[in-house]
Amino acid sequence: MKPALFDYVRAMTTQDALDVLAQTGEDARVLAGGQSLMAVLNMRLAQPRVLVDISRTDELNAVRADSQAGHLVVSAAATQSSVEWRATLRDEVPLLAMAFPHISHFQIRNRGTVCGSVVHADPSAELPLVLTALGGDVLLRSKRKQRAVPANDFFQGMLMTAREPDELVEAVRFPMKKPGERFGFAECSARHGDFAMVACAAIVTDDAIRIAVGGVADRPKVERWPRLRGEDLRGALNDLSWKLGAHDDAHISAKYRRHLVRELGWRVIEEAK
Ligand SMILES: Cc1cc2nc3c(=O)[nH]c(=O)nc-3n(C[C@H](O)[C@H](O)[C@H](O)COP(=O)(O)OP(=O)(O)OC[C@H]3O[C@@H](n4cnc5c(N)ncnc54)[C@H](O)[C@@H]3O)c2cc1C
């Protein structure tokens, strides 16, 4: 199938994009890398009247470390590859560096943006999981206002977010590594590059564990525990696997999803020791 007819606007500035969103609201869609949106349009799951293309908006194509605030700030037009190949990424946000190779293939990451993946809000996607695990936030801007929404509140369900129709996600902020933090990331997918059936991310310090799980509930879920070990940790992971409300689908049973939460959860916490 082909998309329904739409008008195409190329935004040269952020203001251009905000103007279109303010005028058109629900009938407009932002086009970033197009790696999710084009499939949605081709299947006619969405039929926007206007597409506003931000992929060549220079002022939105930025990745910068705000060392004072302790954030890596990724603007809306920055591709996944441009962040993945940042020379300092492993020191700044190690969890992000661990997650990128799991996102599809490099061709997709060359076009797909970090912010586009966050806005698309697929419950199995790696970037929403990492953003939620780290306690990052999403910077939204419209002609009316600017606001920062914590990732945990931004993701509201499968492909659902707190974004309002006239808002552009201007950037996302990933908290940078703090002293004493160690990280683990693992996922299980049918083939390398496929969406995860279950993905887990862990941030471990000497006295605490934070674990985030994707692909099970309708959005990434985070749990915080003291520094559990051995059978206590196994028990907590088992409780978590039931709490997430795993479901059967065409690819995998709820029982196997719970198994993956327990095993990948254990693995990422071991990796982060
Ligand atoms: C074959 C294939 C395999 C893939 N595998 C994976 C995978 O394993 N893991 C994974 O996480 N992803 C995967 N993806 C998705 C990929 O990561 C996409 O690039 C990403 O989800 C969307 O980014 P995009 O820049 O292409 O956004 P687009 O497709 O352009 O947009 C996605 C949605 O976000 C909206 N949007 C985008 N940017 C903004 C903004 N700044 N403000 C407001 N709204 C915005 C759009 O209107 C649209 O609704 C895969 C894609 C393909 C085609």
Q: 3-state SS string over 72-119?
A: EEEECCCEHHHHHCCCCHHHHCHHHHHHHHHCCCHHHHHHCEHHHHHH
Cβ(60) to ligand 1 under 6 A?
no
DSSP string, 203-238: EE-SSEEEEEEESSSSS-EEEEEES--HHHHHHHHH
Atom of ligand 1 nearest to the CA of 113: 25
C-alpha 226 – ligand 1 centre gap (Å): 35
For 182-271, the fitting CATH number among 1.10.10.10, 3.50.50.60, 3.30.390.50, 3.40.50.2000 is 3.30.390.50
Q: How far is the CA of 113 from the centre of ligand 1 (A)?
A: 7
DSSP state letter for 19: H
Q: Give the residue, out of 14, 109, 113, 120, with the most ligand 1 atoms within 8 A of its beta carbon, to mutate for a pocket test.
A: 120
Distance between CA 199 and CA 186 in Å, rounded? 6
Residues in a beta bridge with 201: 185, 212
Residue with tokens 């709490």, as numbered in its chain: 243
Residue nearest to atom 38 of ligand 1 (CA): 116
pLDDT for res 193: 85
The helix or strand, by DSSP H or E, that contains position 111, with its residue range, turns out to be helix 106-111
Residue 75 CA to ligand 1 centre (angstroms): 14
pLDDT computed for residue 1 by the predictor: 77
Tell me, using a 6 A CB cutoff, whether residue 126 lines ligand 1.
Answer: yes
Residue with the two structure tokens 């992971």: 237
Q: Which fold has domain 7-53?
A: 3.30.43
Do residues 127 and 118 lie in contact, with contact meaning Cβ atoms separated by under 8 Å? yes
Q: Which CATH class is domain 61-175?
A: alpha beta
The whole-number pLDDT of residue 200 equals 98
Cα gap 67→55, rounded to integer Å: 26
User: Cα separation of 164 and 121, whole Å?
Assistant: 14
User: Is residue 168 in contact with ligand 1, taking CB distance under 6 Å?
Assistant: yes
| Residue 31 Cβ < 6 Å to ligand 1 | yes
> Which bin fits 142, alpha (ψ -120 to 50), beta or left (φ > 0)?
beta
Measured in whole angstroms, the distance separating CA 183 from the mean position of its chain's CA atoms is 17
Instruction: Report which ligand 1 atom has the smallest distance to the Cα of 31.
Output: 30
Residue to mutate, 117, 129, 172, 187, ligand 1, most ligand atoms under 8 Å from C-beta? 117
139 Cα: distance to centroid of ligand 1 (angstroms): 17
Angle, CA 204 vertex, CA 221 and CA 232 arms, to 5°: 80
CB of 265 closer than 6 angstroms to any ligand 1 atom: no
Helix (H) or strand (E) holding 38: helix 37-42
CA distance 186 to 189: 10
- Calculate how far, in angstroms, residue 46's C-alpha sits from the geometric centre of ligand 1: 14
How is the chain split into domains, by residue range?
7-53, 61-175, 182-271
Tell me, what amino acid is at 237?
L
Closest Cα to atom 47 of ligand 1:
30
Among 9, 18, 37, say which to mutate for ligand 1: greatest number of ligand atoms within 8 Å of CB: 37
273 residues of the chain, pLDDT tens digit each: 789 999 999 999 999 999 999 999 899 999 999 999 999 999 999 999 999 999 999 999 999 999 999 999 999 999 999 999 999 999 999 999 999 999 999 999 999 999 999 999 999 999 999 999 999 999 999 999 999 999 999 999 999 999 999 999 999 999 999 999 999 999 999 988 889 999 999 999 999 999 999 999 999 999 999 999 999 999 999 999 999 999 998 889 999 999 999 999 999 999 998
